[in-house]
């Protein structure tokens, strides 16, 4: 069966950037995120806020190599980065003053990838 690759130019550029940062900064977390994002869309993470709430504490920084969905609620402020986010999830994050950033912004703020949890 033929393997298809993503045609989304934003995703392709992000994967290249993550691999480059991983090599240059010796930060394996970015390579792991790049590999997760390179998977077909049906195999990428789709994480609900309720799952994020169960797996985080106040002031944690997490990354979701996929999409954040709005099912459930979040009870503590955190910093979240993901490839995409639903409007419902974004509204719920704003309501509790959690911070949503894009993956490139997170890489720029924390090039070593220290103290970041990957939630799949």
Q: What is the pTM of this model?
A: 0.91
- C-beta atoms surrounding 45 within 10 Å: 19
| 90-119: b (≥16 Cβ within 10 Å) or e | eebbeeeebebbebeebbeebeebeebeeb
Domains and CATH numbers, the chain: 9-118 (3.100.10.10)
* pLDDT band, very low/low/confident/very high, at 4 (cuts 50, 70, 90): low
Determine contact, residues 118/62, Cβ cutoff 8 Å: yes
d(CA 17, CA 95): 31
Provide, rounded to the nearest whole percent, the portion of the chain with pLDDT above 70: 97
Whether the pLDDT of residue 1 is over 90: the answer is: no
d(CA 106, CA 62): 10
44-98 confidence digits (pLDDT tens): 999 999 999 999 999 999 999 999 999 999 999 999 999 999 999 999 999 999 9
What SS3 state is found at 23? helix
């Amino acid at each position: 069966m033929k393997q298809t690759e993503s045609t989304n130019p934003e995703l392709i550029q992000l994967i290249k950037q993550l691999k480059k940062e991983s090599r240059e900064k010796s930060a394996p977390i970015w390579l792991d995120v790049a590999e997760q994002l390179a998977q077909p869309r049906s195999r990428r993470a789709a994480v609900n806020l309720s799952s994020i709430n169960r797996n985080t504490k106040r002031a944690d920084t997490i990354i979701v190599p996929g999409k954040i969905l709005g099912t459930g609620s979040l009870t503590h402020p955190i910093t979240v980065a993901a490839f995409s986010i639903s409007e419902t999830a974004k509204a719920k994050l704003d309501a509790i003053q959690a911070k949503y950033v894009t993956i490139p912004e997170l890489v720029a703020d924390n090039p070593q990838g220290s103290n970041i949890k990957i939630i799949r």
